[in-house]
Structure 1
Amino acid sequence: MFESARLPHAMTKADFADFEARLRDSLLNAQFDLAEKKRAAVLVLINGSDGAGKGDVVNRLYDWLDDHFVETLSYGKPTDEERARPGAWRYWRDMTAKGRIGLVLGSWHHRALRNRALGRLDKAAYDNVLEEMNRAEEMLRLEGVHLLKIWLHLDDGEARRRLDRLRQGNGALRRPAVIEWEEIKKPRELARLNDAALEMIEMTSTGGAPWAVVPAQDQHYRDAAVGDLLLQTLTRAAGAARAAMRTSALAAPDLEMPRPSLVSALDLTQKANPDVYSQELRALQRRLTEATTTKSFRSHGLVLVFEGNDAAGKGGAIRRVREALDPRRFRVHGVAAPTDEELARPYLWRFWRNIPRRGDVAIFDRSWYGRVLVERVQGYASPDDWMRAYQEINDFERQLSETSYLVVKFWLAISADEQLRRFQDREAKSFKRYKLTPDDWRNREKWDAYEQAMTDMVDRTSSRQAPWTLVEANDKKFARLKVLRTIVERLEA
C-alpha cells in the first residue's frame, strides 16, 4: 500500500485550487504522451465504501483529462449474456486498449469481496482467488496494462450518515452516487466484508500493482490524492514502456537443452480401415450430435483447439466435427497474425472474447498456443514473453474448466516427407493452391525448432483438466476418426 507523500491529509479550497492547476497540466501532458505512443494502457480501479465518493472521483478525473481517451467500465450484477460465460469474460471483453485510460467500477476485486461477505467463498477458496488475482494482474502489467488500485476509505458510521443524507423519503437519491454494497446488511456480513477487504489489500498489494488507500473524509484531499496517484501511474507506465523497448532487442537466446521430440514416439503409419471408415465416421458423428444436444450440455461449453504441422489436415478434421454440430450453436475461429486492434490489448484478449456461451461450441483453428509455437520459433516474442505464456495459458484453461467448459486440444502430427508430398500436391492443383503460402515453406525450414517447441508446449500445458491429444495424421481418415472419438469420449465421460 502507498499514499501520496506530497499531500497533507486535509486541504483548504485555496490549497486545492493551487494544486489542481498544476496537476491538470501535468496529467494532460502525461495522458497525451500515453495516447500518442500507444505503448501502454492504464486501468484505474476505484473501490471503497459506499458514500466515499467513488462517482465523484470518476467525474473529477473526467474534468481533468481529455475524455476522448478515457472510458468508464462499470460492472454490477452479471447480465444473462455474462452469466452464460466464465466470470472473467466480461472484464476481458472490455479490456482498455493501449493509449487509453479506463476507469473501473465494480472490478474483479468487488466480485470476490461480495462473494466472501455473503458466505459464498470460504477462507481457503477466497485465498485461492486472491492468488489468481496476483498472477492475472502481473500478466496484465507485463502485457502493458498498468493498474492503479484505489480504496477510498471512510469510517462506517460516516458512510452511513452520508448515504442517509443522500436519500429522500421515497428512497430516491438526491444526486447520483455509486452504491455497490446495499445487499450486505447483516452485522456478520459487514464484519466479514471488512476483514476480507483488509486481507485483499494485504495479499494483492504487489510491487507491480500496489493498493493505494485514500482517506475520503475530505473531498478535496481525496480528489487531489487520486489525481496525484494517477499522474505517478502514467509516469511509471511511460518509463516501463521505454525500458521494454530498450531491452526487447537484447532478449537472451533460447539456450534450453533440446529434448527428444514427442512426435518420434508416434506410429505415423497407422491407417483407418477403408472398408468401414464411412460407417465409423457416421457413428461417431451421431454420438457427437447426441452429446451436444442433451439438456445437460446446455450448462456446459465446449472449446476445441486444433494445432499441428502445416498441411496436417486440421481443416478436414474440423469439417467432420462441424458436420455433426447444430450450425446455430458453434463457431470456427481461424487464428492468423494479430490485427492492430488485437495488438493494442493483452495477448489473451482476442481469445477470451471468443469464448462461447454455455451450450455452444468454439473451434479454434490454431489458437493461443501461437505464442509458444510460431512466435517463439520465428522470434516474434522474446524468451521472457513465451516462457511466462505457459503459466498464463494454464491459468486461462483452468478458469474455463472450473466454470463448466470442456477444453479438448489436438496436435495433428505428420512426417516431414508426408508434408512435402502434400505441399507438392497443393502446388499442382489450382483449387488447392490457396492453401499453400510462402510462410508454409519458411516454417518447413525450421522443422526441428517447431518440434522442440511443440514438445515443450505439450510437456508444460498438458493438464488433467485440459490434456493434449497427439493425433497420428499421415492418414487423414485415421486422424479424423481419432479426433471425433476423443471429443465424444470426453463429452460422454
Structure 2
Amino acid sequence: MAKTAPKRRARPEPSAPPASEGKRRTNPRGRAKEAPRAKEARPKSGAEHADLDRETFDQLETEVRNELLAAQLALVEKKPKAVLVLVNGLAGAGRGETVNLLGEWMDPRHVRTFAYGAPIEEENEHPFSFRFFRDLPRRGQVGFYFSSWYEELIAAASKGKKVDVSRVLGLEATLADNGVHLVKLFFDLDKKAQKKRFRELEGDKDTRWRVTSDDWEANRRHAEIHRGAMSVLRATSTPKAPWQIIDGARPRAASLECGRALTAAIRATLEPSRAAEGKGTTKSTPKLVLPAPLTKRRLAPATRIEDLAYGEVLDDDTYGKRLERAQRRLALLTRHKRFPKHGAAVVLEGMDAAGKGGAIRRITRALDARTYEVVPIAAPTEEERLYPYLWRFFRKLPRHGRFSIFDRSWYGRVLVERVEGFATPDEIARAYGEIVRFEDDVRAHGVAVVKVWLAIEKDEQLRRFKERQELLHKRFKITHEDFRNRERWDAYVGAANDMFERTSTHEAPWYVIPANDKRYTRVAVLEHLGDRLEALLSGDA
C-alpha cells in the first residue's frame, strides 16, 4: 500500500475576477491539454482564469497526491525507465511553485531538478547535448529540467528568427528510444494576468526580488514571445513527446493538471513491465532489419575489410623516420593558435590483437600528458545500464584543447553487442542513426571525430595470440574470450562493413588500415590523425 504524503499548506486564495467576467468555466479534473499543431494556441480569456476554490482543491489534492506517490514508488521499485519533465513557459506563470509542490508530493530521494541558463565555461567547451545528457535521471528516477533545450529556440523564434528544430527532435528521439519517458509542459499566461502577477510579487517585500527588468520587458513583448513559443511547440509536439499546455493563471488547477500528467507518464512506463509479468512465454527474437546505408550526400566510402591489400610493410629505417616526422607534426598541431578552440575524439576499433594499444602509445608520446585522456571501453557497469546507451560516452568527451582517445567506443553497440546478442535488433537498427547524430553534435562544437579501424588477417591474429601466450610480459593481454571471438570472425567482419556503410560520413569518415605490419599501422594512424587535425584547424573539416 502506498504511503500518504504529509499534508501541505494550502495555496493562498486567488483574487476573485470582476463580476463583469460573466459565468466561470472551471476544470476541476485538471486535464492537461496537448499543444495544437495546426492552429496557434491563444491565451485564455478572463472568464477561464477562475481557479478552483480552496475546498475543492483540498479534496482533489489528496487523491492526486496519493496516486502520484504510489506511481513513483512503483517506478523506483521496477526501474523500467526514467521520467524527464521539461518545464518551460512564460515568466510569472508559476513553474517553480508548481514543481515545488510536485516535489512535496513525491519521495525527494528519487527526484532530480536542474535549471538551465546560459552555458557556463565548461559547458561551452562541450557539445550542445552534453549538459542535458550529463544531468539525466537514471531509470527509476524523475527529473525536472527548467527551461531545458527549448529556451534558446523560443527566444530566437520570438525575435522572428528562423529556428531549426531538427537537433532537439533528434535528441528527444534518442532519449525516448533509450529508456527516458519525456513529459513536456508549457506554462501559459496572458499579458494581463502576467502583469497582475508581477505587481503582486512586487507588492510584497519578501518576493519583490523575483521581478526583474527582464520580466517587465517580457511583458511588454508578450505577443511576440507567445507567438514564437507557440510556433516552436507546434513544430516539436510529437506522438512520443507531445506538449501539454498548462494555464498558469489558475495555480491550483495547474498543480492538479501537472500531477495527473506526471502520474499518467509514470504509469505509461510501467505498462510494458506489467504486461511482461502476465505472460508465461517469451517471444522469439525478431530478425535484425538494418537501416539503409547513408546517402551519397553524406557517405564517405570506406574500404570493405575483405578488399584490403595487406602488403604494406616498413623497414626499421623508414619506420623510424616517418614515425618521428608524424609525431613532431602532431605535437606542433596541438600547439597551433586555433587548437584551444577545438579538440579531438580519436576512436580506435578493430579485431583483437590488431595493435590498438601500440598505436595509442605512439600518439600519446607526441602529446602533453596534461592534454589527453585514454578511455578504455569495456562492458557497461550496472550503474551505466540505468542510463541511455550514449550517456557514458558523453561524460568522456574532450573539452576544447584536449584529446580523448577511445580504445573501443560507442560502436560496441553495432559490433560486439550485435554479434553477441547483447542488444535487441531494434536497439541495433536505431544505433546507426543515433551515433551519426551524436557525432554531428560533437563535430559541430569544433571537435574532430577521428575514426580508425585496424584490420588484420585471421592467420596473423592467431600468430599474435600465440606470441602473447609465450611471452610473460604479454600474457595478460590474452584470454579465452579472444579465442572464442575468433569463431565469430565472419560475423564481426560483416558487422564492421555494415557499420562503415551507415556511419562513415564526410565529416567523420572511417579510415580502414591494413594492420598486419605493426610499424606501418602506427605510422598510418599518426599520419591520418595529423591530416584530420590539419584540415580542422585550416577550416576544411
TM-score (normalizing by structure 1): 0.92
- Kindly indicate whether residue 454 of structure 2 is the aligned counterpart of residue 412 of structure 1: yes
Distance 2:213 2:346 in 1: 38
* 1:253, distance to aligned residue in structure 2 (A): 2.5
Would the alpha carbon gap of residues 203 and 480 (structure 1) be closer, same or farther in structure 2, given more than 3 Å must change? same
1:117–1:184 contact (8 Å) kept in structure 2: no
- Kindly indicate whether residue 216 of structure 2 is the aligned counterpart of residue 174 of structure 1: no
- Structure 2 unmatched ranges of 5 or more: 1-26, 32-47, 294-301, 536-541
Report matched runs for 1:286-435 at 5 Å: 286-435=328-477
Would the alpha carbon gap of residues 112 and 345 (structure 1) be closer, same or farther in structure 2, given more than 3 Å must change? same
Distance 2:142 2:219 in 1: 36
Q: Which residue of structure 2 aligns with residue 79 of structure 1?
A: 120
Q: Which residue of structure 2 aligns with residue 436 of structure 1?
A: 478
Q: Tell me, what secondary structure is at the counterpart of 1:328?
A: helix
Q: Which residue of structure 1 aligns with residue 269 of structure 2?
A: 237
Distance 1:450 1:328 in 2: 35
1:473–1:479 contact (8 Å) kept in structure 2: yes
Distance 1:293 1:244 in 2: 57
Would the alpha carbon gap of residues 34 and 269 (structure 1) be closer, same or farther in structure 2, given more than 3 Å must change? same
Q: Which residue of structure 1 aligns with residue 19 of structure 2?
A: none
* 1:179, distance to aligned residue in structure 2 (A): 8.0
Q: CA RMSD in A?
A: 2.6
- Kindly indicate whether residue 70 of structure 2 is the aligned counterpart of residue 37 of structure 1: no
Distance 2:496 2:274 in 1: 32
Q: Tell me, what secondary structure is at the counterpart of 1:91?
A: helix
Distance 2:199 2:119 in 1: 27
- The superposition leaves residues 80-128 of structure 1 with CA deviations (integer Å, 9 ceiling, x where unpaired) of 1111111211111111111101111120011322344457xx41xx1x3
- The superposition leaves residues 371-410 of structure 1 with CA deviations (integer Å, 9 ceiling, x where unpaired) of 0000011000011101000000000111111111111000
TM-score (normalizing by structure 2): 0.84
Q: Tell me, what secondary structure is at the counterpart of 2:316?
A: coil
Q: For 2:54, give the aligned amino acid.
A: K
Report matched runs for 1:209-288 at 5 Å: 209-242=241-274, 250-254=284-288, 262-288=304-330
Q: Tell me, what secondary structure is at the counterpart of 1:39?
A: coil
* 1:7, distance to aligned residue in structure 2 (A): 2.9
Distance 2:213 2:315 in 1: 63
Would the alpha carbon gap of residues 458 and 387 (structure 1) be closer, same or farther in structure 2, given more than 3 Å must change? same
1:261–1:451 contact (8 Å) kept in structure 2: no
Identify the match of residue 108 of structure 1 among 129, 146, 149: 149
The count of aligned residue pairs is 480
* 1:167, distance to aligned residue in structure 2 (A): 3.0
Identify the match of residue 165 of structure 1 among 188, 200, 211: 200
Q: For 1:106, give the aligned amino acid.
A: S
Q: For 2:255, give the aligned amino acid.
A: D
Distance 1:80 1:221 in 2: 39
Q: Which residue of structure 1 aligns with residue 184 of structure 2?
A: 149
1:41–1:98 contact (8 Å) kept in structure 2: yes
Q: Tell me, what secondary structure is at the counterpart of 1:276?
A: helix
Q: For 1:216, give the aligned amino acid.
A: G
Distance 2:181 2:212 in 1: 26
- Structure 1 unmatched ranges of 5 or more: none
* 1:269, distance to aligned residue in structure 2 (A): 2.0
Distance 1:68 1:342 in 2: 19
1:303–1:363 contact (8 Å) kept in structure 2: yes
* 1:27, distance to aligned residue in structure 2 (A): 1.0
Q: Tell me, what secondary structure is at the counterpart of 1:71?
A: strand
Distance 2:77 2:117 in 1: 32
Q: For 1:447, give the aligned amino acid.
A: W
1:50–1:163 contact (8 Å) kept in structure 2: no
Distance 1:186 1:24 in 2: 33
**Moved beyond 2 Å, runs of 4+:** 4-10, 114-119, 175-187, 189-196, 240-251, 253-257
Would the alpha carbon gap of residues 191 and 288 (structure 1) be closer, same or farther in structure 2, given more than 3 Å must change? farther
* 1:417, distance to aligned residue in structure 2 (A): 0.4
Would the alpha carbon gap of residues 255 and 195 (structure 1) be closer, same or farther in structure 2, given more than 3 Å must change? closer
Distance 2:442 2:206 in 1: 40
Q: Which residue of structure 1 aligns with residue 108 of structure 2?
A: 67
* 1:160, distance to aligned residue in structure 2 (A): 2.7
